[in-house]
Homo-oligomer: A and B are copies of this chain.
Amino acid sequence: MSPEQPSAGPTRVTPPYYAVIFISRLASDTAGYDQSAQRMLQLAREMPGFLGFESAREEVGISVSFWRDAESIANWREHSEHLQAQAEGRKRWYDDYQLHIARVERSASFHRDPG
């Protein structure tokens, strides 16, 4: 989350840690979706065990949040505002989604040297 690493992937964290992979297709009624997504990211960043977040959307949206352990994810899943957003998502925003909760066993990263 620092200005030095806006991408916020947990590349400096040594496995094991956890990833929540959320893959979704939006429905036609997305009123309020962007605002809620921003609010959820803001809240997630304040949760204990949050390590990072990345997202992109074309035909599908893929977001990956990284967490210290499974308990951190369980706590975030049960956050009251998050529960409301999840319900709203199923009621209006998503045509479909898949969620995968995974324990990262190995990681690697690459950064091009300048010049």
Q: Contact residues of A with B, CB < 8 Å? A: 7, 9, 11, 18-19, 21, 23, 25, 27, 54-64, 66, 70, 90, 94-112
Q: A19 CA to B100 CA in the complex, in Å?
A: 9
Chain A interface helix/strand/loop/mixed = strand
6 extra A-B contacts, CB within 8 A, seeds A21-B21, A100-B107: A27-B112, A56-B59, A56-B62, A62-B62, A101-B107, A102-B102
The 6 A-B residue pairs whose C-beta atoms are closest, nearest first, are A102-B102, A56-B56, A102-B104, A56-B58, A101-B106, A96-B111
Q: A80 CA to B95 CA in the complex, in Å?
A: 39
Q: Collect the chain B residues with CB atoms within 8 Å of residue A54's CB.
A: 23, 60, 62
